[in-house]
Amino acid sequence: MSELLVENISFAYGKKKVLDNVSFEADNGVIALLGPNGAGKSTLINIIVGLFTPDEGRILLGNEDISKLGRNYYDFIGYMPQSPRFYNDYTVYEFLWYMAKIKGLDSKKTKERIEEFLELVNLSDARKKKVGALSGGMRQRLGIAQSMLNNPKILVLDEPTAGLDPIERMRLKNTITKIAADRIVIMATHIVSDVENMANMVFMIKEGKNLMYDTPKAVLESAYGHIVYVEAESVEELRRLEREQTVTTVSNGDGGGYRVKIVSDCKENVVPRSDITLEDVFAYYFGGECVYAKD
């Protein structure tokens, strides 16, 4: 049996059902949670971390229903929300010590864990810096460090790379990959390219329902035949395509103009399997169903 089983979860806000029979299972590694705004990702995260109780369904950790674990469940969960709150006048070390005390760690374990996770997220040299003086990427890495202090089996990250520059995003992605070697990391993001080379599994959710849960390779394969190349000879033609079609990628053409990837079921100029990206898949499933027709 998998370490984590999310089984037949449904949830409604009043009469509005936002999750409908959602299920997946996971072992160690990164699970990328993908879907457009309003798909139910945040609600599902809140249920997994124990903030919401589902109307139907259950979550098993190992063989144990988390509803029976009570507050002990929080010993197994680490969570970094999309916009973590910090105390800017604390140093990095002081903030982590404070968070460790909130989590109930004893002093000896607190010191060991802080040192371990400062090194893991590459903030050891910043331990005496005020949190308010950290860059955006450093603050995100600090957020991950605090979520790891209780050494959780499941780490949930909500949009961890949002607002970071390319270098900071790379550092954070490398950190997450290391963390996921011996635990489950559930990562919700709208920056699809961030999970392409780090996810072990991809879970796509649409309108509160399971759309697909599979390996990245299988997910990429599912869009084959539905993404095609077309040429735009001018900016005006490119703009027309963007108005009328679901455009995934625009690149400069070899002889001038533009080479454009669009969602289409046309059988000509199908994008090779090796050129399909998760962004193409996202556009295929969530970006509309326009079909390109050349004038």
pLDDT at 290: 42
Residues 263 and 290: their CA atoms lie apart, in Å, by: 7
Residues 188 and 22: their CA atoms lie apart, in Å, by: 15
pLDDT at 208: 94
Name the maximum alpha-carbon separation found in the chain: 72
Beta bridge partners of 214: 202
pLDDT at 289: 43
Tell whether the model's pLDDT for residue 292 goes beyond 60. Answer: no
Tell whether the model's pLDDT for residue 295 goes beyond 50. Answer: no
CA 277 from centre of chain: 16
Tell whether the model's pLDDT for residue 79 goes beyond 90. Answer: yes
Pairing state between β 4-13 and 16-26: antiparallel
Is residue 270 a contact partner of residue 261, using CB atoms and an 8 Å limit? no
The 10s digit of each residue's pLDDT in 20-66 is 999 999 999 999 999 888 899 989 999 999 999 999 999 999 889 99
As a whole number, the mean pLDDT across the chain is 89
Residues 116 and 105: their CA atoms lie apart, in Å, by: 14
Tell whether the model's pLDDT for residue 294 goes beyond 50. Answer: no
pLDDT at 228: 94
Which long-range CB contacts under 8 A does 21-27 form with residues at least 24 apart?
A: 21/56, 21/57, 21/209, 21/210, 22/57, 22/205, 22/208, 22/209, 22/210, 23/57, 23/210, 24/201, 24/203, 24/210, 24/213, 26/2, 26/184, 26/186, 26/201, 27/2, 27/3, 27/184
Tell whether the model's pLDDT for residue 291 goes beyond 60. Answer: no
Compute the radius of gyration of the chain from its Cα atoms.
Answer: 22
The 10s digit of each residue's pLDDT in 150-209 is 999 999 998 888 777 888 888 888 888 888 988 999 998 877 887 888 899 999 999 999
Confidence label for 85 from pLDDT (cuts 50, 70 and 90): confident
**What is the rounded (10 degree) CA torsion for 118, 123, 128, 134?**
-130
Neighbours of 268 (CB within 10 A): 10
> What is the phi-psi region of residue 184: left when phi exceeds 0, alpha when psi lies from -120 to 50, beta otherwise?
beta
Q: What is the mean pLDDT of residues 250-260?
A: 87
Domain ranges of the chain: 4-220, 225-286
Kind and range of the H or E run holding 240 = helix 235-244
Q: What is the mean pLDDT of residues 81-88?
A: 83
CATH number of 4-220: 3.40.50.300
Q: What percent of the chain has pLDDT over 90?
A: 63
pLDDT at 288: 52
Tell whether the model's pLDDT for residue 270 goes beyond 70. Answer: yes
DSSP state of 271: P
CB contact set of 119 (below 8 Å; sequence gap of 6+)? none
What is this structure's pTM? Answer: 0.86
pLDDT at 1: 52
The 10s digit of each residue's pLDDT in 102-144 is 888 888 889 999 999 999 888 999 999 999 999 888 898 899 8
Comparing 239 with 2, the larger pLDDT belongs to: 239
- Alpha-carbon dihedral sign for residues 63, 65, 71, 76: positive
